[in-house]
């Protein structure tokens, strides 16, 4: 009996943990972008150290177990394992840049003297959204590569498409208040309906 099934199980669990970390980070970023003062920002920076540790640990496990699974299949001569490793490297790069920025936010929150403008500017930075979105799509693209096992051209196109989609989806509104626009729309519809009913009555 080989340890291949056990390693595959650990690999799948690590990917699930990585996905959970991205989900928590997305919710945290949503709340940070809604904050309007340093006191509202500080509670949502508490998960940063834990998320960083979980992300690093799961990413290392994904790499080690993935390398073992690839070696067991004697697949290193193919293109797809190398592009899967490239996806892991890109994920780690954007994760490290995001972690440094979030740690800077925590330091500013802990500082006794700050006017809040720099802090609000950091949490509303577009880079945090772009990095998160790119890492989500890297996970999707890398999963597709390992499942489909394509050639060089297809693997490269999957990686490039993941990066493009990550940047594109980063500009979807996240954490912005839309209560006023929704309210005006709700008031506008009854007025239009009343006007129509009067016209029909006349």
Contacts of 32 (CB under 8 A, 6+ apart): 41, 44, 45, 105, 123, 124, 175
Report the pLDDT value the prediction gives residue 1, as an integer from 0 to 100: 53
For 77-87, the pLDDT digits (tens) are 999 999 999 99
Q: What whole-number distance in Å separates Cα of residue 156 and Cα of residue 197?
A: 59
Q: What whole-number distance in Å separates Cα of residue 26 and Cα of residue 66?
A: 26
Cβ–Cβ < 8 Å for 31, 175 = yes
Residue 1 per-residue DSSP state = -
For 164-173, the pLDDT digits (tens) are 999 999 987 7
Cβ–Cβ < 8 Å for 38, 114 = yes
Cβ–Cβ < 8 Å for 119, 32 = no
Q: Report the predicted TM-score, pTM, of the whole model to 2 decimal places.
A: 0.80
Q: What is the distance between the terminal CA atoms of the chain, rounded to a whole angstrom?
A: 86
Report the pLDDT value the prediction gives residue 114, as an integer from 0 to 100: 61
Which stretches of the chain score pLDDT less than 70? 1, 112-115, 174-202
Report the pLDDT value the prediction gives residue 66, as an integer from 0 to 100: 95
The domain limits of the chain are 4-201
């Amino acid at each position: 009996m080989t340890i291949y099934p056990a390693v595959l199980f650990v690999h799948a669990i690590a990917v699930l943990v990585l996905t959970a970390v991205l989900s928590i980070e997305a919710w945290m970023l949503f709340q940070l972008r809604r904050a309007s003062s340093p006191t509202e920002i500080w509670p949502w920076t508490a998960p940063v150290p834990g998320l960083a540790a979980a992300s690093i640990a799961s990413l290392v496990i994904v790499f080690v177990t993935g390398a073992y699974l690839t070696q067991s299949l004697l697949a290193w001569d193919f293109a797809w394992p190398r592009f899967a490793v490239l996806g892991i490297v890109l994920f780690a790069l954007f994760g490290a840049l995001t972690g440094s920025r979030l740690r800077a936010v925590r330091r500013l929150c802990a500082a006794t003297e700050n006017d809040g403008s720099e802090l609000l500017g950091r949490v509303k930075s577009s880079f945090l959204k772009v990095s998160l979105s790119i890492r989500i799509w890297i996970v999707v693209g890398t999963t597709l590569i390992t499942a489909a096992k394509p050639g060089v051209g297809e693997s490269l196109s999957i990686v490039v498409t993941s990066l493009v989609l990550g940047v594109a989806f980063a500009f979807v509104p996240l954490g912005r208040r839309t209560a006023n626009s929704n309210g005006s729309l709700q008031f506008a519809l009854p007025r239009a309906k009343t006007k129509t009913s009067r016209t029909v009555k006349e």
